[in-house]
Each structure stands twice: as C-alpha cells, then as structure tokens.
Amino acid sequence: MAWVYILKCSDGSYYIGSTHDLERRLWKHQNSFYEGYTSSRLPVELVWSCDFETEHDAFVFERQIKGWSRAKKEELIKGNWDGIHQIVRKERKDREMKKRQAS
C-alpha cells in the first residue's frame, strides 16, 4: 500500500507527496528532516490523504494533482468531486473562449 498526501504549510501553500509510510513521512516533514519546501514553511498540517494499491498508482496520482489549480486541490481536500468537475468544465470553457478570441 502507498499514500498520496497534501500538507498545508504555515504560509498557506500546499505540498503534495507520496509515501509507503504516511505516519513516518509526516513526522519527517514536521521535524525538518527534509531540507527544502516544507522545512522553510513549518509547521505543516496533513489536510488530505488517500491510500493506493501500489506505489506506482500513488506516484501517478501525486503527479496528476501537482498540476492542478489551487481551487481543484481545495475541492479535493473537501472531498467535493462535483466541485472539481465544475472547475474542469469552467477551465475547458475558458480555454475554448481564448482559442476563439485568438483566431
């Protein structure tokens, strides 16, 4: 089993990662074990996590949501899949409008 997780940092930003040991990884983030993004934004809070059958599945989903807008990430944190779908429809509509305007 593997996990994808979202941490909310003290500056309000989100950090997304994946691991096979969520409790240990969270401890490492909270105790500045990793130098980098989260260590300069402590404290961090686990706001969302989901388990996956394989590390590969978790890694693929981690990469997918890293590319999402903040709004979509926040809907995921709330568990609001309808909200995510609404944002996707709006983003598509906006892209189509920009294409038409550029033509």
* Neighbour count for residue 4 (Cβ, 10 Å): 25
Helix-, strand-, coil-residue percentages of the chain, each rounded to 5: 55, 20, 25
Task: Express each pLDDT in 8-48 by its tens digit.
Answer: 999 999 999 999 999 999 999 999 998 899 999 999 999 99
* Neighbour count for residue 52 (Cβ, 10 Å): 18
CATH superfamily of 1-67: GIY-YIG endonuclease (3.40.1440.10)
Every domain of the chain and the residues it spans = 1-67, 69-103
C-alpha angle with apex 26: 25 to 30, nearest 5 degrees? 120
Task: Express each pLDDT in 49-66 by its tens digit.
Answer: 999 999 999 999 999 999
